[in-house]
Amino acid sequence: NSHLQINGYLSLFDPYPLLSLEEMALIYATAPLLIHTALAFDYYSLEIVKNNSLRIFLLYSI
């Protein structure tokens, strides 16, 4: 039961303006659900880093 990890990186810093805390919380809460529905991966890790970028880590079972 091996795994394939796919690291996705989505920058929300440029060209977008800085996001408010509410906007970041909304992205944090909803993006994993949308991505999970679309890609059906087994595990995700999502974080918003200090430069206001969104990092998404996907882990597939293969």
pLDDT per residue, tens digit, the chain (62 aa), is 455 544 554 444 444 455 666 776 776 677 666 655 555 555 555 555 555 555 555 555 44
Taking the complete model, does pTM exceed 0.85, yes or no?
no
Are the CB atoms for 48 and 24 separated by under 8 Å? Answer: yes
Task: Give all strands of the β-sheet with 3-10 in edge-to-edge order.
Answer: 3-10, 54-61, 43-48
Centre a 10 Å sphere on the Cβ of residue 54 and count the other Cβ atoms it contains.
19
- Would you state the pLDDT for residue 55? 57
- Would you state the pLDDT for residue 22? 74
Strand (E) or helix (H) holding 62? none
- Would you state the pLDDT for residue 62? 43
